[in-house]
Amino acid sequence: MKHTQVALLLLMLSVITQASTTEATTSMSPLIDTTLQYLSQPRETTASHLRMTPELFANVSGSLDDHGNCQCSVYLPDTTFPVQKAEQLQVIATTLVEKFERELSVVKEYSERIELYQQKILNLTIRVEHMEKNSVSYTELDFQLLKVEISDLDRLVTQLKSTVVGSNVIVDQIYLEIRNLTILVNELESLDKNNILSIRRQIVSLQNRLKECEESRNQTTVPPYFPPGSCIHGGLLNVSQPYVVKLNWRGSSYKYGSWGRDYSPSDPEREVYWVAPLTTDGIYFEYFRIYKTFDDLLLFKPMYERRITYGQGSGAALYNNIMYYHAYSSRNIAMYDIANNKVLLSKALPDVAIGNRFSYAGVSWQDIDFAVDENGLWVLYSTETNMGNIVISKLNETTLDVINTWQTRQYKPSVSNAFMLCGVLYATRTLSTRKEEIFYTYDTSTGQEGHVSIIMDKKLDTIQGISYSPTDQKLYVYNDGYLLRYDITFRH
């Protein structure tokens, strides 16, 4: 019987080892427990133990071999492995893996798009902040381009938002930022004060209406008309309110300089303008621009830009396509051909005091001041001999020779600026930060001095240069970087 017990045990262990599923192993666990219990009591072979076998096994039969050993066959219950279910599970698992990979690729694509949108929003934010903080002129085209870019972002993020299942914090945040940018750009466009054409039309319209109102109130008769270039009038009577043309093309830091309109006796109707801001220290005259029309000047469209090395002070003047200026750190006056871009001649001005010795009040380094009127080219300066009083010299515009000279009794450093009109010197002085007075005259035709009181309003503190144009009979004033223009009324 001992051999029979061992054989039965080995058979049972073999069956347990060959079980392929959890279901089979679970069904065999009572048999294993019973077998172990049986082996723990090997000598007890009572009938009670044998009677337990039918409860664990079915269809059991036994026999003895030639050696007297007991042999038996055991038939386990049907434990067929669920192959079809396993195959279905494998197909489902494969499908889920493919879907997961597709969704993962979509998430990666959305992440890349979100990073791109964030960068675009950052760029737009920087541009909008730049527009808010700076006084750069932005045209309607700039705002339209911003709107197009923001509209594209809005469309793409809306599309992205619709494809994302559920709530996505990053997408919602980007969507909100784009909405805020749209509102901000619309506000900036509505508050834009640098649109030159539209604002200028409004300003010109208002100024014309105010001028008409003032004229209708103060005048009962129409002022007499005197043809440009003629001197048949009785001299300067009054000047209008200043018309602010624009800031000079180099910016508000360039407070010193001069500007005006060219006068050509052979072609008095020719429309050429010049603007010559000095360096920020108010010494060097280096760059200037020429504009073919007044509209070109308003729209920053120069015919050409020129550079000379170097002039000094804000006393330059343009006459018949030639720029006349004081050569730096010398007694020389020079003439520069703006069309051919070259210096034609440089010649010393006799006895002139230089080195900022007798400049105008509040205006440094204007030792020599050129002026143009109906009679031609003039130069205003001081000498030690005349003790700093204003000296007037008529120049030959081709040779720079002095034709005639007049010495006045008006001290040049007490004058804020001066200009010539029909052979008469008019000098100004400062009354306040917003008012200037034309107070002194000297008539070169008679040698007589005179005093007048013509008030000129100004926009800023200091007048750096005054140029009279016989072409349109206007004063061109450079006022701390701003270009002002005045109409003139003459006496009968």
Do residues 178 and 318 share a domain?
A: no
Q: What is the mean pLDDT of residues 384-398?
A: 96
Q: What is the mean pLDDT of residues 30-36?
A: 43
List, in sequence order, every residue forming a beta bridge with 426; answer none if it has no partner: 419, 441
Q: Closest Cα to residue 273, out of 262, 265, 264?
A: 262
Task: Output the six-digit token pair for 103.
Answer: 């969704």
pLDDT tens by residue, 400-424: 999 999 999 999 999 999 999 999 9
Highest mean pLDDT among 65-79, 102-116, 130-144: 102-116
Question: What is the full DSSP assignment across 446-476?
Answer: TTEEEEEEEEEE-SSS-EEEEEEETTTTEEE
Report if residue 269 sits inside a domain: yes
The pLDDT value given to residue 204: 66
Q: Closest Cα to residue 274, out of 488, 464, 479, 478?
A: 478
The pLDDT value given to residue 27: 40
Task: Output the six-digit token pair for 158.
Answer: 């809306």
pLDDT level of residue 448 (50, 70, 90 thresholds): very high
Q: Are 273 and 261 in contact (CB under 8 A)?
A: yes
Q: What is the mean pLDDT of residues 459-469?
A: 95
The overall longest dimension of the chain from CA atoms, in Å, is 168
pLDDT level of residue 468 (50, 70, 90 thresholds): very high
The pLDDT value given to residue 39: 41
Q: Are 154 and 174 in contact (CB under 8 A)?
A: no
The pLDDT value given to residue 113: 78
Q: What is the mean pLDDT of residues 363-377?
A: 96
- Number of Cβ within a 10 Å radius of residue 197: 11
The pLDDT value given to residue 376: 95
Report if residue 60 sits inside a domain: no
Do residues 251 and 167 share a domain?
A: no
The pLDDT value given to residue 422: 96
pLDDT level of residue 164 (50, 70, 90 thresholds): low
pLDDT tens by residue, 171-181: 666 767 767 76
Q: How many whole angstroms separate alpha carbon 398 and alpha carbon 393?
A: 15
List, in sequence order, every residue forming a beta bridge with 257; answer none if it has no partner: 277
- Number of Cβ within a 10 Å radius of residue 166: 4
How buried is 130 (Cβ within 10 angstroms: 0-12 exposed, 13-18 middle, 19+ buried)? exposed
Do residues 412 and 470 share a domain?
A: yes
Do residues 297 and 188 share a domain?
A: no
pLDDT exceeds 90 at position 42: no
Residue scoring higher pLDDT (33 or 105)? 105
Question: CB within 8 A of 102, min separation 6: which ones?
Answer: none
What is the side-by-side order of every strand in the sheet holding 257-261?
A: 257-261, 273-277, 284-291, 304-312
Percentage of residues in the chain having pLDDT higher than 90 = 50
Q: What is the mean pLDDT of residues 139-159?
A: 67
Write down the mean pLDDT value for the chain: 80
Q: Closest Cα to residue 338, out of 426, 402, 272?
A: 272
* Token pair 């050429």 in the structure block, residue: 272
Q: What is the mean pLDDT of residues 29-58?
A: 45
Do residues 430 and 481 share a domain?
A: yes
Which stretches within 134-281 are classed as H helix?
140-163, 169-190, 196-218
Q: What is the mean pLDDT of residues 283-307?
A: 94
pLDDT exceeds 50 at position 8: no
Q: How many domains does the chain have?
A: 2
Q: What is the mean pLDDT of residues 280-307?
A: 94
Q: What is the mean pLDDT of residues 277-295?
A: 95
pLDDT level of residue 165 (50, 70, 90 thresholds): low
pLDDT exceeds 50 at position 46: no
Range of the domain at 361: 235-491
pLDDT tens by residue, 190-235: 655 555 455 556 556 666 766 666 666 555 556 677 888 889 999 9
Question: CB within 8 A of 163, min separation 6: which ones?
Answer: 106, 110
Q: Does residue 421 sit in helix, strand or coil?
A: strand
Do residues 264 and 372 share a domain?
A: yes
pLDDT exceeds 60 at position 16: no
pTM assigned to the model? 0.58
Q: What is the mean pLDDT of residues 117-138?
A: 68
Q: What is the mean pLDDT of residues 344-364?
A: 95
pLDDT exceeds 50 at position 15: no
Instruction: Please name the amino acid found at residue 251.
Output: G
pLDDT exceeds 60 at position 135: no
How buried is 355 (Cβ within 10 angstroms: 0-12 exposed, 13-18 middle, 19+ buried)? exposed
pLDDT tens by residue, 91-107: 888 888 888 888 888 88
* CATH label of the domain that carries residue 469: 2.40.128.630
Do residues 285 and 409 share a domain?
A: yes
Report if residue 70 sits inside a domain: no
Do residues 314 and 370 share a domain?
A: yes
Task: Output the six-digit token pair for 234.
Answer: 């009785």
Report if residue 452 sits inside a domain: yes
Do residues 240 and 100 share a domain?
A: no
- Number of Cβ within a 10 Å radius of residue 474: 20
Question: What is the full DSSP assignment across 25-65?
Answer: HHHHHHHHHHHHHHHHSTT---HHHHTTHHHH-EEEEEEE-
Report if residue 262 sits inside a domain: yes
Do residues 182 and 247 share a domain?
A: no
pLDDT exceeds 70 at position 311: yes
Do residues 341 and 281 share a domain?
A: yes
Q: Are 447 and 406 in contact (CB under 8 A)?
A: yes
Percentage of residues in the chain having pLDDT higher than 70 = 67
Residue scoring higher pLDDT (220 or 62)? 62
Report if residue 92 sits inside a domain: yes
The pLDDT value given to residue 5: 46
Do residues 176 and 287 share a domain?
A: no
Q: How many whole angstroms separate alpha carbon 441 and alpha carbon 452?
A: 7
Report if residue 95 sits inside a domain: yes
pLDDT tens by residue, 253-266: 999 999 999 998 88
Report if residue 476 sits inside a domain: yes
